[in-house]
């Protein structure tokens, strides 16, 4: 036992010092067992007495290690991805899974918590919750849907606040805040310190209204992957419909061009806060937001069709979804405005093409790291509002979130031309004008270059993404905390791009393209209440669907454009090389 033990308490710290007699060349082990309770824990009135009584009963490290290891083994049994042929990808993808499931875990299902953009590892953004979930939730949807459900419930509990926020801003439905915390009120700062110049400036990022549609996306993705009708009936549809109603109130119809428009908003690219010289924050017709509104309205319509009659009637009554409202939704889905130039490049917003080109190489030469061009330009007395540049993927986000055929349908529905090379044109145009001031941007570029078959380019992005936190490539930000979005994005690339697994309305689609040295990738997914085991090589896919002794169902799985009905409990080996 230590000869002396000193306990020191400070305002935000508590620590112990021990004095022990030691002998040379002998090793000593210090065991510290901690018990933590909070007043928010179920069945806990006095956290201190609970902690004291539990610590008294706690056994030593070895006894505690057993259940801890078992719990982690069970989690890895669900979440793991095994990669043969590339140790770096293997190690870092596991490292990313580990950090994500530390942030939201089975514990989260018992508490009212969202998924903070920087995990629980540090204090950047004060633990706030943004839209980064769109890069992460797939992991929970497909491996531990109860966790997704609890993260969605965090939003549902704040739906009344989102309604109030919409009303305060003269909109209908529910508008969620760009940054959310305990109460669901808008938490985004209104001024921002530019460390490059030491000056404070306005911060308009709260007008990124796309956050609400990202929540609708998360609701739909959860439904798509789980078919959890109970959730849809009681919570999901209400959120989706309320957000759709907000979307329909965000747009304004113009008789001049017979189109619906949005204005006074910002897209995911946080560099453009307003038009050059304008005192009013926001830009007009951000394509990403406009298309996302159309998508949300279409999914909201679909949700109404899916709901049992009684639930539909109840929600229509409660949310005021009368014929006029639903007709408006329909009209918007045909007449929302997009701006596409003759080359097929979608304008990030109205006026983007009229801005000045930036001399990228001059800035690169002068500053080396130009990720935060906004701060650089402002410190020179200029403004990013004047230039054709983007902090992060904005137009390209559309192609990251939605399958290509869906984007094609959305755009053609609006009466615009979408050709095969639209995606490439947009990738070339915007990747040349993006500074990647957010790590999320790299995920999007990785996915799209993969879609375009640009193997070397997408490999470069993937390595970049993997290094993001472990090598702290943003230059010091990982020391503050990890980046949950890029971590989730890396896993998404492994599943959705490399293993090629996509969950569509009526089937699972698998179109693998294992990169460079990846010989084999193995994982399982929990698809609509069934575990599907997958093992993919460059030449074959092995599939096994788990089922009870008496189960006799099959799951439609499309592999390289051919539809199979894969029976439960049989091991299927499908060749990828045969025509
Ligand atoms: O949500 C992101 C945003 O897109 C870029 N800035 C950081 C936020 C939190 O990660």
- CB count in 10 Å sphere of residue 24: 4
List 186, 187, 270, 325, catalytic entry: 270
Instruction: Tell how far the Cα of 130 is from the centroid of ligand 1, in angstroms.
Output: 7
First vs last C-alpha separation in the chain: 72
The DSSP string of 334-347 is: HHB---B-TTSPBP
> Is the CB–ligand 1 distance for residue 440 below 6 Å?
yes
Q: How does strand 508-510 pair with strand 554-559? A: parallel
Q: pLDDT (tens digit, 0 to 9) for every residue of the chain, 579 residues total?
A: 788 889 999 998 888 898 999 999 999 988 889 999 998 888 899 999 999 999 999 989 999 999 999 999 999 999 999 999 999 999 999 999 999 999 999 999 999 999 999 999 999 999 999 999 999 999 999 999 999 999 999 999 999 999 999 999 999 999 999 999 999 999 999 999 999 999 999 999 999 999 999 999 999 999 999 999 999 999 999 999 999 999 999 999 999 999 999 999 999 999 999 999 999 999 999 999 999 999 999 999 999 999 999 999 999 999 999 999 999 999 999 999 999 999 999 999 999 999 999 999 999 999 989 999 999 999 999 999 999 999 999 999 999 999 999 999 999 999 999 887 899 999 999 999 999 999 999 999 999 999 999 999 999 999 999 999 999 998 889 999 999 999 999 999 999 999 999 999 999 999 999 998 999 999 999 999 999 999 999 999 999 999 999 999 999 999 999 999 999 999 999 999 876
Instruction: Tell how far the Cα of 132 is from the centroid of ligand 1, in angstroms.
Output: 7
> Is the CB–ligand 1 distance for residue 282 below 6 Å?
no
Q: What is the rounded distance in angstroms from the CA atom of residue 383 to the CA atom of residue 363?
A: 14
> Is the CB–ligand 1 distance for residue 171 below 6 Å?
no
528: exposed, middle or buried (Cβ count in 10 Å: 0-12, 13-18, 19+):
middle
Atom of ligand 1 nearest to the CA of 125: 9
> Is the CB–ligand 1 distance for residue 132 below 6 Å?
yes
> Is the CB–ligand 1 distance for residue 437 below 6 Å?
no
Any idea what DSSP says for residue 501?
E
CA 344 to chain centre: 27
Instruction: Tell how far the Cα of 438 is from the centroid of ligand 1, in angstroms.
Output: 7
Residue among 443, 246, 445, 426 at smallest CA distance from 348: 426
Atom of ligand 1 nearest to the CA of 438: 5
* Residue 270 a catalytic site member: yes
Q: What is the rounded distance in angstroms from the CA atom of residue 80 to the CA atom of residue 528?
A: 19
Q: What is the rounded distance in angstroms from the CA atom of residue 418 to the CA atom of residue 340?
A: 10
**Reduced to 3 DSSP states, what percent helix, strand and coil does the chain have, rounded to the nearest 5?**
45, 15, 40
């Amino acid at each position: 036992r230590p000869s002396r033990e000193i306990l020191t308490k400070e305002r935000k710290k508590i620590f112990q010092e021990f004095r022990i007699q030691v002998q040379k060349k002998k090793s000593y082990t210090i065991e510290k067992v901690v018990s933590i309770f909070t007043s928010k824990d179920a069945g806990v009135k006095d956290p201190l007495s609970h902690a004291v009584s539990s610590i008294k009963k706690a056994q030593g490290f070895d006894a505690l290690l057993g259940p801890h290891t078992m719990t982690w083994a069970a989690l890895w049994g669900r979440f793991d991805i095994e990669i043969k042929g590339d140790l770096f990808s293997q190690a870092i993808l596991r490292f990313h899974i580990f950090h994500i499931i530390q942030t939201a875990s089975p514990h989260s299902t018992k508490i009212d918590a969202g998924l903070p953009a920087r995990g629980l590892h540090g204090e950047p953004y004060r633990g706030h919750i943004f839209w980064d979930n769109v890069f992460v939730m797939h992991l929970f949807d497909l491996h531990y849907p109860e966790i997704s459900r609890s993260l969605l419930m965090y939003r549902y509990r704040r739906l009344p606040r989102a309604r109030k926020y919409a009303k305060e801003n003269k909109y209908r439905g529910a508008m969620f805040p760009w940054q959310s915390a305990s109460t669901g009120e808008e938490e985004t700062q209104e001024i921002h310190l530019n460390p490059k110049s030491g000056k404070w400036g306005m911060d308009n990022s709260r007008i990124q209204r796309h956050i609400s549609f990202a929540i609708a996306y998360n609701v739909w993705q959860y439904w798509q992957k789980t078919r959890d009708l109970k959730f849809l009936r009681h919570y999901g549809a209400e959120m989706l419909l309320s957000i759709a109603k907000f979307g329909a109130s965000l747009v304004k119809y113009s008789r001049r061009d017979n189109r619906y428009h949005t204005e006074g908003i910002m897209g995911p690219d946080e560099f453009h806060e307003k038009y050059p010289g304008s005192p009013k924050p926001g830009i007009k017709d951000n394509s990403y937001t406009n298309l996302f509104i159309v998508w949300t309205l279409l999914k909201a319509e679909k949700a109404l069709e899916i709901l049992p009659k009684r639930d539909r009637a109840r929600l229509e009554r409660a949310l005021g979804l009368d014929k006029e409202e639903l007709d408006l939704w329909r009209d918007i889905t045909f007449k929302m405005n997009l701006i596409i130039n003759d080359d097929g490049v979608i304008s990030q917003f109205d006026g983007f093409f009229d801005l000045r080109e930036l001399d990228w190489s001059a800035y690169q030469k002068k500053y080396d790291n130009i990720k935060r061009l906004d701060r650089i330009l402002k410190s020179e007395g200029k403004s990013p509002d004047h230039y054709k540049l983007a902090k992060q993927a904005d137009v390209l986000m559309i192609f990251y979130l939605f399958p290509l055929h869906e984007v094609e349908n959305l755009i053609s529905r609006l009466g615009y031309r979408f050709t095969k090379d639209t995606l490439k044109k947009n990738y070339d145009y915007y990747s040349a004008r993006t500074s990647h001031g957010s790590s999320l941007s790299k995920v999007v570029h990785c996915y799209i270059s993969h879609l375009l078959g640009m193997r070397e380019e997408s490999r470069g992005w993937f390595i970049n993404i993997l290094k993001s936190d472990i090598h702290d490539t943003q230059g010091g930000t990982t020391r503050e905390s990890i980046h949950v979005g890029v971590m989730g994005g890396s896993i998404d690339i492994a599943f959705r791009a490399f293993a090629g697994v996509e969950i569509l309305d009526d089937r699972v689609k698998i179109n693998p393209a294992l990169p460079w040295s990846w010989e084999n990738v193995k994982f399982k997914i929990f698809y609509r209440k069934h575990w599907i085991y997958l093992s993919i090589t460059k030449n074959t896919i092995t599939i096994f669907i788990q089922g009870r002794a008496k189960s006799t169902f099959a799951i439609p799985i499309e592999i390289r454009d051919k539809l199979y009905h894969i029976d439960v409990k049989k091991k299927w080996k499908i060749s990828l090389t045969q025509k």
